[in-house]
Amino acid sequence: MQTEKKMRIGIIGAGVIANKVASILSERWQTMLYAVASRDIARAQAFAARHGMPKAYGSYEELVSDPDIDIVYVATPHSHHYAHARLALSHGKHVICEKSFTANAKEAKALVDMAQAHGLFLMEALCTRFMPITRKIEEVVKSGIVGQPRLLNASLCWNMPDIERIKRADLCGGALLDLGVYCLNFADMCMGGDIVSINSCAVKGGENVDFNTAATILYADGSIASVQCSACCCHKGGIIICENGSIEVNAVNLPRQIKVMDKAGTVIEEYTAPDSDLSGYELEFLAAKEAIEHGWTEHPIMPHSTTLRIMQMMDTIRHQNQIIFPNDSRSL
C-alpha cells in the first residue's frame, strides 16, 4: 500500500503571521511543519520548539538549500517578499507568499515569470479566497437572488498607526497593502469585469505611507465598487447592493456570516459558517499541496492573474496619492 507523500513546509520569517499560521497548522497538519529560518538563530530555535518543528536555521539561504523542503512560505514584511520568494524559486522550491504578494506589480510579474519558466508552483497567501464561506458568497451573488450587483462597499480598518511594519515606508507599510488588499479582492470577487477607472484619495501618516485610503472603481458594465482601509480606526464589513436587494457580509477578510435582504430590508436568506470548517490558512496550504501534486504552477482559486490584477490596482492607488516605496525604483 502506497503512503501519501507529506508536504514539508519551510517558513521564512518568525514574526506574528508566521506564528499564527504555524499554530493553526500544528493542530491538524503537524507533519507539514518542517523548518523555520530567521536572521536570529535563537528566535528560529524558539519558534521551532514552540511549534514542534524539527529544523531551525539562522539564515534564509540555509533553509532554501535544505533538500527535504518542498515548499517555502514567505512571511516577512512586504518589502522583502520579492527577494525571499525569488531566493526560494532560484533553489527550485515551490513558494506560497503572504499577502500583499509583493511591493508592486513589477515585482509580482517578475516572480510569476520566474515560477512559470521553471515549472514551480507560486501563490499569494490570501486565505479569504480559500474559505468555504467565500464560495458561498460567490454562489449567492451569481444566483441573482436579488438581481445583478450594481454597487459594492467594502471596508477593513484597524487602529494600529504605531506598528513598525505599518508606519515605515522602507517596509512598504500603510493601510493599503496590509488591509486594503482584502477589500480589493472582495470587490474583484463579487464584481469582477473590466475596470474603466480608479479614483482614490489618501491621508498619509508615519513615513509617508497611507493611513486612511478610499478608492472608487468603475467597471465596464456600469457597476461601481467603493473600498476603504485605515490604520487609525476600526471597522470591517462588505455590502453588495443589487437591483432588488442587498447582500451583507460581516467581514471582508475573515467572513463568518452572510445576510441577503430584499427591497424592504427583510432578511430572506442567512448563512453562518460552521465552526467545523477548516480555516482559510489550512485550506490555502492544502490547495498548494494539490497544485504541486498535479504539477500546476498556480491554483485556480488564487491564480497569478488575480494577484497581478490586484497588485496593479494598488500601484494605481498609491501613485495617485504620491505614495512611493524604495522598492519602486529598484532594478530587478
Q: Is residue 262 part of a domain?
A: yes
The answer to whether residue 4 is domain-embedded is no
Write out the residue range of the structural domain in which residue 242 sits: 132-272
Q: Which three cell numbers stand for residue 233?
A: 480606526
Please state, in angstroms and rounded to a whole number, the distance separating the CA atoms of residues 55 and 62.
11
Based on the domain organization, do 211 and 241 belong to the same domain? yes
CB 88 within 8 A of CB 72: yes
Please count the structural domains in the chain.
2
180 in the same domain as 96 = no
d(C-alpha 243, C-alpha 169), whole Å: 42
Q: In angstroms, rounded to a whole number, what is the distance separating the alpha carbons of residues 147 and 138? A: 14
Per DSSP, the three-state class of 188 is helix
Q: How far apart are CA 64 and CA 300, in angstroms?
A: 26
Rounded to whole angstroms, the Cα distance separating 129 from 94 reads: 20
Q: Does 262 lie in the same domain as 180?
A: yes
Distance of CA 217 to the CA centre of its chain: 20
The distance in angstroms from the start CA to the end CA of the chain is: 47
Q: In this structure, are 199 and 241 located in the same domain?
A: yes
Question: How far is 291 from 161, CA to CA, in rounded Å?
Answer: 38
Distance CA 219, CA 225 (A): 8
Q: Is 106 left (phi over 0), alpha (psi -120 to 50) or beta?
A: alpha
Same domain, yes or no: 169 and 121: no
The angle at the Cα of 311, spanning 189 to 282, to the nearest 5 degrees, equals 60
Spatial contact of 122 and 304, defined as CB atoms under 8 Å apart: yes
Q: 15: domain CATH number?
A: 3.40.50.720
* Contact (CB, 8 A) for 229 and 176: yes
pLDDT tens sequence for the chain (332 residues): 344 568 999 999 999 999 999 999 999 999 999 999 999 999 999 999 999 999 999 999 999 999 999 999 999 999 999 999 999 999 999 999 999 999 999 999 999 999 999 999 999 999 999 999 999 999 999 999 999 999 999 999 999 999 999 999 999 999 999 999 999 999 999 997 899 999 999 999 999 999 999 999 999 999 999 999 999 999 999 999 999 999 999 999 999 999 999 999 999 999 999 987 799 999 999 999 999 999 999 999 999 999 999 999 999 999 999 999 999 999 98
Judgement on whether residues 124 and 247 belong to the same structural domain of the protein: no
Examine the domain organization and report whether 46 and 91 are in the same domain.
Answer: yes
Examine the domain organization and report whether 37 and 117 are in the same domain: yes
- Report if residue 22 sits inside a domain: yes
SS3 148: coil
pTM above the 0.85 mark? Answer: yes
The DSSP secondary structure of 100-129, one letter per residue, reads: S-SSSHHHHHHHHHHHHHHT--EEEE-GGG
Cα distance between residue 190 and residue 260, in whole Å: 14
Q: Are residues 70 and 148 in the same domain?
A: no
Supply the CATH number for residue 240's domain: 3.30.360.10
